[in-house]
Amino acid sequence: MEKYVVRNIERPKQKILDEYKGLGVSTIYEAQGKIGIMDPQLKPILPNTRICGPAVTAVCYAGDNLMIHAAIEVCKPGDILVITTIGECLAGMIGELIVSALKKRGVQGIIIDSAIRDTAEIREMGFPIWTRAIYSQGTTKTKGGWVNAPTVCGGVKVHPGDLIVADDDGVVVVPKKDIQSSLELSKKRVLKEAATKEKIARGELSLDFYNLRPVLEKEKVVYYENEDELHHALKQALK
């Protein structure tokens, strides 16, 4: 298969990105039909951080970060670099120097289905990364791969220019073709959750406004007034 770098990709318009910035990963994931969420092992190194932007993809061979260096050149301000490997890899594919270069290019953050190193220095830089592991093992720079090719990261397919949203809850992918529809569905979910919060504030019970009592009844869940009543019922059942 031909190895390549695509210099220019179609990115979402800034107006759309601005509207997504107030939406959390869980909201978007639920709104788009419980799809697009990456493996929970991809964890943020910086808490209380959210990023939202188009994906630039770097597909590397395990233990070799040549294509990450190639990706730096094509990244634009606001991009999110999504790094994957062919073959399982927990080597430290990126460190302080690569992050410095990406930060200089205006990249928002990194999603990497591998490992990073120089973590303390990267945290001091305030650069958001979602990673599978932290490991000091080094890499080579000898194997060609792909930049801006379709890939799979954290179990989710990612195309160049797809929208990536990441926060403390994880990482979600919104395909380019679904960006507008997912935005509208996410907004509706926010309004619905706001109405639910109002019900909670009024003291209403979720069992009632979600109509869950019939479900409990169907599942034959029995209520007892106290532990004595429960113990009595258990004794009767054993006779």
DSSP string spanning 100-112?
Answer: HHHHHTT--EEEE
Q: Within this chain, do residues 176 and 131 fall inside the same structural domain, yes or no?
A: yes
Domain span including residue 154? 4-190
Q: At 146, which helix (H) or strand (E)?
A: strand 146-147
Q: How many helices (H) and strands (E) does the chain have?
A: 9, 12
Coil vs helix vs strand at 163:
strand
130 and 41 part of one domain: yes
Q: Cβ of 59: how many Cβ atoms within 10 Å?
A: 22
Is residue 197 situated within a structural domain? no
Residues 170 and 236 in one domain: no
Q: Is residue 199 part of a domain?
A: no
Q: Which residue has the tokens 């630039």?
A: 56
Which amino acid belongs to residue 84? T
β-strand partners of 116: 94, 134
Q: Which residues of the chain register pLDDT less than 70?
A: none
pLDDT score recorded for residue 238: 83
Residues 38, 98 share a domain: yes
- For residues 66 and 111, membership in a common domain is answered with yes
Number of domains in the chain: 2
Q: Is residue 10 part of a domain?
A: yes
